[in-house]
Amino acid sequence: MHLDGNYPESVNSILPKITETQGKITSLYTQLCHHNNQAKANVMNLDNHVTYLSTQVQSVAKLNRQLHSLGQMNSESTHDISLSVEGDRKLPVDDLVLPDLLLVRQLYDTAAEIRGYKDAIKLVGGTYKSEPELIRDENLDTCVKSVRALARELFWLEVTRDEIGQIMGLEK
C-alpha cells in the first residue's frame, strides 16, 4: 500500500488500518509498561528478600560459631555446662537432667542410692578405688554389722529398682 497524494481515496482506505494498528501499539505499550512496573517491583521485592536472607545467614553462622565454642567448652568439663560463650553462666550437670515422670525420678534416686551402698560396702572391704581395708581385729564386729545392714538396705533398694523397672516396662 503506497500512499499517493494524487489519489486521496487511497488515504481514506488506509486510515482505518493505521488507526487499528495505532490502537494495538498503544495497547501493547500499556501492557509492556505494566509488565515493566511489575518487573521493577519484583526486583525490589527480591532485593529485600536477598538482604533478609543474607542477614539470616550471618545470624545463623554466628550462632553456629557460638554453638561450636560452647560444645568445645562443655566437652572439657564433666561437672558444669556453660550456657554462654563468655563462660560466665554455668549450671551443674545434675541440675540439667530432670526426670519427666515421678517413676523416672524414683528410679534415678534408687539407682544412685544403690551405687552409694555398693561403694560403702566396697570401702569397708578395701576394694573401693584402692582405699585401704577398714576391717581390723578390734572393729570386726562393728564392720560385719554395718556391712550386713548396708547389704539389707541394698537388697531392698534393688527390689525397688526392679519393681520400678517392671512398672515402666524396662528390661533387666
The whole-chain average pLDDT of the chain stands at 85
- Both 7 and 85 in one domain: the answer is yes
- Both 36 and 70 in one domain: the answer is yes
- Both 61 and 116 in one domain: the answer is no
The answer to whether residues 86 and 78 touch, using CB atoms and an 8 Å cutoff, is no
Boundary of a domain, candidates 92, 115, 143: 92
**Tens of pLDDT along 105-156?**
898 899 999 999 999 888 887 777 777 776 776 777 888 888 899 999 999 9
Domain encompassing residue 20: 1-92
- Both 63 and 81 in one domain: the answer is yes
Boundary of a domain, candidates 52, 77, 92: 92
Beta strands in 54-94 (DSSP E): 80-82, 90-92
Q: How far is CA 45 from CA 52, 114, 120, 141, in A?
A: 11, 65, 71, 87
pLDDT above 90: percentage of residues in the chain: 41
Q: Is pLDDT at 8 greater than 60 in this prediction?
A: no
Please state the domain count of the chain.
2
Boundary of a domain, candidates 77, 92, 107: 92
